[in-house]
A and B are shown apart, each in its own frame.
Chain A
């Protein structure tokens, strides 16, 4: 059993009681809510005549259903409109802060909470969305929950939980030029599998992790869930504290020293014990791309598509299913695969540094004929900052569309969708069948820079050919 890790310490500090049915009651430091998984939870509260326990620890925004072209109210889709107005009504009734459209702070829930300085080291964070693992980048223990658990957190600011095991993923060496955090996490999931993390919290550590910016760390932790780990985290360090200094207004100057002491105290001890340890070498990772229907079906950009019969026994069936769905040929290179749609955005890669990386590739170049390419900033703040740097102009001049913030084509709950069997190069996190809105639409996951390169080329290509010095 693990001991002395950040996970163990946060667990112990937040444990309220042992429950009769087994499991522990865990205090939740921050509860993030959005329009899709909260309405039934609020309805359940009303039915039980309960109040929200800690409205000041609950923060709301709207992201999944918002259109990214016209955000005029009422929305064209009456159901989307109903979901948003229900959220507005619930937040008002329970005095919950809602960062709504045009507030300046609206955006994908996992983008805005860090921006607003809400995600902090040592916290427990819950949200009715599986990618809540993102906030682990700050050394928080953050996990996605279901609707009945959303109700429980609203009612009691706590959850019934069972303790996870802890696996340390030690990433040695350094990422090469043109290889990004997205490639690293796609590589990890490829190595450990999409179910590899079930029952575990992932601690990412090592020289290659330490040099990452906060935004890159968020990309890594965001996709821990795609590797089966309900939460992933990185021990807070100087990079974390610097980010927090810029983003938190609530912690006053005179308390900063106290905050630092506490944050440092919750880091994993040097002699912490892990349930499992894995080592990965970052310098051997190439730009990585998925070719199949699970995020674990990834390959390096210069590899050929795998031959199902040569794969490990447990991967064969899903590989065959993937080939039937994706209409790709085993043994062929992935480069040169023609692309219909290019999507840059989502809670994985819709932050400023993602847009900067993509813009540096498209600058002075133009999107290939017949490719639909668009950029959806992760939040209003990201959008504003990008515009200040002129990134929107770079994208527009290159033939990209520039949209309003939201989840967009990461999933099919708003007007942005694939059509028919279109194939997309996407900076999002899930390539499940039908995920991007068409029952036979196909998704290739990759870094935003790789999406940008695919947009210019009109087909999958190695982004390193676009970077001088390579």
Chain B
């Protein structure tokens, strides 16, 4: 299987693609990526291992194995998704499988933060909207949808639903400032100035 390795970068305003519906409340990070996969030197292979045990149990009938869902980039879930351990491996596994945005009733806090740090928005929808969204997608899986973070909508060519995202994360994503690493790198010129006040950097040679 070819996984989407074009990871989020820069300003994140719209997420476009096919959707995958995964029903159920309280889906924890242990299910998203079982503990044994944490013994690894890179996150690289996690994409294939996403929901490994659930998928094994359903013998190919899991939504992540359904050929209709191949290439999906928007994951539709229910409530308290991503609860349990703080492992960054969970959003990493989803991202590496191809997920670029999530819509659900609610998300566990640490999971939400870990996703944000990867540039993956977790937006919320009301229960009623979510049911409508799920059934629309189930009727026609091949349709492309858009999460519009600026307008806070989820839409395709003939439907539009209201979704929401918290103000802070919204600003961070649409301004492209969700990534700590690039923020830190962007101040590199200021870092060079420290040499004057930190004589240890030159072993007190200056």
Expressed in whole angstroms, the Cα–Cα distance for A148 and B119 within the complex equals: 14
Which residue of the partner chain, among B39, B168, B187, B197, contacts A158 with CB atoms under 8 Å? Answer: B187
State the B residues within 8 Å of A (CB). Answer: 7, 39-44, 88, 117, 168, 172, 177, 180-181, 183-185, 187-188, 190-191, 194, 197-201, 203-205
| Separation of A20 and B205 alpha carbons in the complex (Å) | 35
A40 and B43 CA atoms in complex are apart in Å by 6
**Residues of A125-183 contacting chain B, CB below 8 A:** 147-148, 151-152, 155-160
- What 5 A-B pairs are tightest by C-beta distance, nearest first? A39-B41, A156-B184, A43-B42, A255-B204, A258-B204
Q: Are B185 and A156 in contact (CB under 8 A)?
A: yes
Q: Are A151 and B181 in contact (CB under 8 A)?
A: yes
| Cα–Cα distance between A43 and B41 once the two chains are bound (Å) | 8
Give Cα distance in the complex from A48 to B9, angstroms: 9
Q: Among the interface residues B7, B43, B181, B201, which one has the most CB atoms of the partner chain A within 10 A?
A: B181
Q: B185, B190, B204: which contacts A262 (Cβ < 8 A)?
A: B204
Greatest chain B CB density within 10 A among A86, A156, A262 is at A156
In the bound complex, CA of A122 to CA of B197 (Å): 11
Find chain B residues with CB under 8 A from A39 CB: 40-42
In the assembled complex, the Cα of A25 lies from the Cα of B193 at a distance in Å of 14
Residue interface bits A305-325, CB-to-B below 8 A is 1, else 0: 000000000000000000000
> A279–B187 Cα gap in the complex (Å)?
42
Complex contact B184–A152 (CB within 8 A): yes
Query: Within 8 Å CB of A29, what residues of B?
Result: 198, 200-201
* A44 contact set on B, CB distance < 8 A: 43
17 A–B contacts from the bound complex (CB under 8 Å): A13-B194, A13-B197, A16-B187, A17-B190, A29-B198, A43-B41, A50-B181, A53-B188, A86-B41, A122-B198, A123-B200, A148-B180, A152-B181, A251-B204, A255-B204, A256-B204, A262-B199
**Nearest Cβ in chain A — how far from B173, in angstroms?**
12
Interface size class of A (residues with CB under 8 A): 35 or more
Do A255 and B198 touch across chains, with their CB atoms under 8 A apart? no
The answer to the question of A94 belonging to the interface, with a C-beta cut-off of 8 Å to chain B, is no
Which single residue of chain B is at the shortest CB-CB distance from A43? Answer: B42
A19 and B183 contacting across the interface, CB-CB below 8 Å: yes
A373 to B44, CA, bound (A): 41
Number of interchain pairs (Cβ within 8 Å) = 95
A43 smallest CB distance to B (angstroms): 4
Instruction: Known contacts A47-B7, A83-B41, A252-B203; decide if A14 and B194 are in contact (CB<8 Å).
Output: yes
Q: Give the chain A neighbours of B177 by CB distance below 8 A.
A: 20-21
Q: How far is the CB of B158 from chain A (nearest CB, A)?
A: 38
A259 contacts B by Cβ under 8 Å? yes
Please name 9 further chain A to chain B contacts, defined as beta carbons within 8 Å, in addition to the given A43-B44, A123-B200, sorted by A numbering. Answer: A14-B198, A16-B187, A16-B190, A17-B187, A17-B190, A21-B177, A25-B184, A29-B200, A48-B181
Residues of B within 8 Å of A370, CB to CB, are none
Measured between alpha carbons, how far is A16 from B187 in the docked complex, in Å?
8
The verdict on A61 contacting chain B, using a C-beta distance below 8 Å, is: no
Which residues on B sit within 8 Å (CB–CB) of A262? 199-200, 204
Give the residues in chain B near A83, CB-CB below 8 Å. 41
Quick one: which of A48-96 are within 8 Å of B by CB? 48, 50, 53, 79, 82-83, 86
Smallest CB–CB gap between B98 and chain A, Å?
15
Task: Name the B residues within 8 Å of A259 (CB-CB).
Answer: 199-200, 204
Q: Which residues of B contact A53 (CB under 8 A)?
A: 185, 188
Q: How far is the CA of A122 from the CA of B204 in the complex (A)?
A: 13
Chain A residue at smallest Cβ distance from B5: A47
Contacts of A147 in B (CB 8 A): 88
Contacts of A348 in B (CB 8 A): none
Docked complex Cα distance between A43 and B200 (Å): 30
Residue of B with least CB distance to A82: B41
Write the nearest CB–CB distance from A262 to chain B, whole angstroms.
5
Nearest-CB distance from A126 to chain B (Å)? Answer: 13
A442 to B: closest C-beta gap in Å: 23
Q: Digit string of A266-282 for contact with B (CB within 8 Å is 1, else 0)?
A: 00000000000000000
Q: Give the CA-CA distance A151 to B42 in the complex, in Å.
A: 12
- Cα A27 to Cα B180 in complex, Å, equals 14
Name the B residues within 8 Å of A157 (CB-CB). Answer: 191
Question: In the bound complex, what is the Cα–Cα distance between A159 and B199 (angstroms)?
Answer: 20
- Nearest to B118 among chain A residues (CB) is A148
Chain A residues contacting B117 (CB-CB under 8 Å) are: 148
Distance in Å from the Cβ of B175 to the closest Cβ of chain A? 8
Most interface-central of A120, A255, A256 (chain B CB within 10 A):
A255
Assess the B39–A79 pair: CB atoms within 8 A: yes
- Return the chain A residue nearest B190 by Cβ: A16
Nearest Cβ distance between residue A62 and chain B, in whole angstroms? 13
Which residues of A6-45 have CB atoms within 8 Å of chain B's CB atoms? Answer: 13-14, 16-17, 19-21, 25, 27, 29, 39-40, 43-44
**How far is B181's CA from A19's CA once the two chains are assembled, in angstroms?**
12
Contacting residues, chain B, for A86 (C-beta < 8 A): 41
> A250 within 8 Å of B by Cβ?
yes
Q: Do residues B43 and A43 form an inter-chain contact, with CB atoms below 8 A? A: yes
Q: Which of B42, B117, B184, B199 lies at the interface centre, i.e. has the most chain A CB atoms within 10 A of its CB?
A: B184
